[in-house]
Amino acid sequence: MAFNFSVTPGFLIQTRQLPLETSRRASAIQTKVYPQWYKQATVEWSVPASWGNCIFDVYFSQVEDTDFVKINSTPITGTSFTDTTLREESKYNHGYYVVEAILLDKGNVALRSSPVTWKTAQRDWVTLRAIEVQRREYWLLSRFGGIKSYLFRRKNYGKRCTTCWDPLTETVTRDNCPNCIGTSFEGGYFTPVSLFLQYDPTPNNLVKNYLGQDEENQIGAWTISMPDIRLGDIIIRTGGWEAYEVTRIATTELQGNVVRQMLTLTQLSKGAVEFQLVTRNLPDFPTQYLDSYQL
């Protein structure tokens, strides 16, 4: 099935005042800003897979309707941006971000998100409590219970893989393609972000059945509500350098505010095509292990 793209009025939201020169606003750009207890803010976004290959710019303004200034120096190919110009005390001020997506496969159409801020209109007591819970949990995770890990977010849009993707039939022609790691998108995963996860003790179950015996390869882990973890993402645990696929996510909420992400992780074998992520872009991976980890 061929894909047709057209910009229809229904899918764009035109606002009363257009804060940026370009007039196209797209509600389909999902944008989040977090967290406020850092000395910086991270803007994270996602766009529909159907948009194809995109690059992004991030704009900032202290007011919601005007004066947006581009804050990234080069176009962003990933799905997040950390604004280090934000000062710690600025959480008492307002600030708004707009993410612009440039759709490279659709004639460089530029679409912009609605302004988002770290300060929601009304911070009720529960929200403040939820933020405080997370601040404390992050502190504990980063110092005691947590193990530094890397989250590789699986690509669900972008340039299709040149090795295995057949544009005519829109199908993958090769299983376990090493170029896109089976995702059908070039590179397979976005640049990793580091996070702290608390892992459950490794289960030590041996299940015997008439086919032989199985060892349990799933493990539980949790972290705070950010970054957004999605099914199919890959988590690399430092130290042991195990690779896991996220196969189940449940959240704990405090009256509607997500405070924890509880994950079920399925450990990947060293032969799995995703395992090559272990050696990719991870600054603290011990290079002396490279030989044994190469596929």
**How many angstroms separate the Cα of 140 from the Cα of each of 41, 52, 132, 143?**
20, 39, 12, 5
Please, what is the minimum distance in Å from the beta carbon of residue 273 to Zn ion? 10
Instruction: Indicate which single residue of 163, 194, 198, 279 sits in contact with Zn ion (rule: CB under 5 A).
Output: 163
- Kindly state whether residue 177 participates in binding Zn ion, applying the rule CB under 5 A: yes
The 10 Å Cβ neighbour count of residue 120 is 9
Q: How far is the CB of 280 from Zn ion (least distance, A)?
A: 15
| Residue whose pair of structure tokens reads 């995109």 in the numeric block | 54
Which range, of 107-115, 161-169, 205-213, 240-248, touches Zn ion by CB under 5 A? 161-169
42 contributes a contact to Zn ion by CB under 5 A: no
CB of 245 to Zn ion, least distance (A): 18
Complex with Zn ion: residue 157 or 199, whichever CB lies closer: 157
Among 179, 223, 225, 257, binds Zn ion (CB under 5 A): 179
Considering the rule CB under 5 A, would residue 164 count as an interface residue with Zn ion? yes
Cβ-based nearer residue to Zn ion, 171 or 294: 171
State yes or no: residue 181 binds Zn ion (CB under 5 A): no
C-beta of 161 vs 221, nearer to Zn ion: 161
Size of the site for Zn ion (CB under 5 A): 6
Please report, as ranges, the residues that interact with Zn ion according to CB under 5 A. 161, 163-164, 177, 179-180
